[in-house]
Amino acid sequence: GLEGAPDSLHMAETTLVQMARGGLFDQIGGGFSRYSTDKRWLAPHFEKMLYDNALLAYTYLEAFQRTERQFYRVVVERTLDYVLRELTGPSGEFYCGQDADSDGEEGGYYLFTPGEVERVLSAGESNLFCKWYGITQQGNFEGKCIPNLLMNPDYDREPPELAQVRQKLYEYRLNRTKLHRDDKVLTAWNALMIAALAKAYRVLGETKYLDAACRARDFIRENIALPDGRLRLRWREGEAAHAGQLDDYAFYAWALLELYAANFDASCLMEAVSLAEQMRELFWDEQRGGFYLTANDAEQLIARPKETYDGAMPSGNSVAGLVLVRLWKLTGEEKWSELAGRQLSFLAGSAQEYPAGFSFALLSICEMLYPSREMVCVTANGVPDGLCKLSEQNRLHTLLKSRENADLLTQAVPFTEHYSVPKSGNAFYLCKNGACAAPVYDLEELKRMI
């Protein structure tokens, strides 16, 4: 194990728990605001953005996987359900976010007083709610209260009747005033949400999250991608505009790889491969390594910038690094190995000065350095039960070949041509460092090998 790993896990958990206990997390409607204005995570800037909620959902899923604490699972579900309820358009596309102001008052929508809670709920319910979420006469924000769990020692042992009480206040709050919603559909931000939803399906097994991820992907394919696969930056009211930038290609390729790990649909893998090829063609700097922000045929600026810093969102270069490593591990193709190596050297050069500002770049580098295993499953009858879960729990890069997808898969991953589909049942080939073991024909037997 890593020296100091318990420490770093403790630091990460403390932050995740306090963020979810504070007012930064909307205790009534779910989802996170952009940032906290104090050290305790109590008072946020009351604006909710799609990208924050996508990245945080992904992070809490990883915390749940590591620790199996149900508290993290609840935060994930309430965050994703908020997005599906309030930031999702009629065709499955995701909007940018919701404003902080309601009727000119910053955060007014989110604040409560005991008197107001008493008007909406029965005496017993209002007593439970006010006590649980710290709603007091003196208030904690401009004379009113931001519901929070910071002073509640039982925060992760919620009484069963509380969900229903919250629902009543949620419906009451919806009728108070309408929050302005920014209804642009940004390709890069939608991609982050698809990645989070695909991960949620793999970890929690909830099909509604996979369905939402697939709908958003279809929306991008039908409305934002051009016939040749090139991407536009945004869509609004029926119109897609502006040439896609590095983030659009890198984030969407990552999303497709996350989705492939959830549904083993070969078209996701094929699309990720062709996006990575376009990314190389349009953005790659052959001389010095790294990807430019804008395509080589875009309107020329005086300087053509390259962004590497991972801020509120990871940089396109960091995500491109992850995509290239994963493509190499999945396909075994030399071209991806070579490009991934050059990209990670470029990222390592940037990260050297200030590693904390390159956290996603470091994740990409870890993906390359840490040992991993690949698996090829050849099946006569669809995705075997439990394959997705097994791959997720053991960090396996899994390929699925069937009669239906054989041609498409061979285009994306040429070596799979040599694996013949059995007449019935499944064959599993576990691979390490490019060499595959003899096949086993039963998932239970495979588990013993792992």
CA-to-CA separations, 16 to 22, 75, 141, 157, 355, in angstroms, rounded: 10, 10, 22, 17, 21
Q: How far apart are CA 196 and CA 210, in angstroms?
A: 10
Q: Is the pLDDT of residue 83 over 50?
A: yes
Q: Are residues 155 and 221 in the same domain?
A: no
Looking at 182, 199, 229, the residue that finishes a domain is 182
Element (H, E) at 408: helix 406-412
Specify the CATH number for the domain of residue 222. 1.50.10.20
Q: Are residues 257 and 341 in the same domain?
A: yes
Q: 296 by DSSP, 3-state: which? A: coil
Residues 110-134, mean pLDDT to the nearest whole number: 97
CA-to-CA separations, 118 to 16, 28, 124, 142, 149, in angstroms, rounded: 31, 16, 9, 20, 19
Q: How confident is the model over 235-273, as pLDDT tens digits? A: 999 999 999 999 999 999 999 999 999 999 999 999 999
Give the closest residue to 34 by CA, choosing from 20, 44, 19, 23. 44
Quickly state the pLDDT bin for 1 (edges 50, 70, 90). very low
Cβ atoms within 10 Å of 4's Cβ, excluding its own: 9
Q: Are residues 41 and 69 in the same domain?
A: yes
The number of helices, as runs of H, and strands, as runs of E, in the chain is 16, 14
Q: Are residues 406 and 309 in the same domain?
A: no
Specify the CATH number for the domain of residue 400. 3.40.30
Q: Are residues 132 and 153 in the same domain?
A: yes
Q: Is the pLDDT of residue 100 over 50?
A: yes
Place of tokens 């709050």: 173
Q: Are residues 341 and 406 in the same domain?
A: no
Q: Are residues 357 and 336 in the same domain?
A: yes
Residues 198-221, mean pLDDT to the nearest whole number: 98
Q: Are residues 16 and 164 in the same domain?
A: yes
Domain that holds residue 138: 5-182
Q: Is the pLDDT of residue 6 over 90?
A: no
Q: Are residues 173 and 204 in the same domain?
A: no
Looking at 337, 352, 369, the residue that finishes a domain is 369
**pLDDT given for residue 103 in this prediction:** 67
Q: Are residues 270 and 155 in the same domain?
A: no
Looking at 149, 182, 215, the residue that finishes a domain is 182
Quickly state the pLDDT bin for 200 (edges 50, 70, 90). very high
Which range, of 149-158, 173-182, 318-327, averages the lowest pLDDT? 173-182
Quickly state the pLDDT bin for 4 (edges 50, 70, 90). low
Place of tokens 């050849």: 378
Q: How far apart are CA 48 and CA 363, in angstroms?
A: 26
Q: Are residues 364 and 379 in the same domain?
A: no
Number of domains, the chain: 3
Q: How confident is the model over 39-77, as pLDDT tens digits? A: 999 999 999 999 999 999 999 999 999 999 999 999 999
Q: Are residues 58 and 124 in the same domain?
A: yes
Residues 173-186, mean pLDDT to the nearest whole number: 91
Q: How far apart are CA 327 and CA 322, in angstroms?
A: 9
Q: 36 by DSSP, 3-state: which? A: strand
Q: How far apart are CA 399 and CA 330, in angstroms?
A: 7
Q: How far apart are CA 425 and CA 256, in angstroms?
A: 27
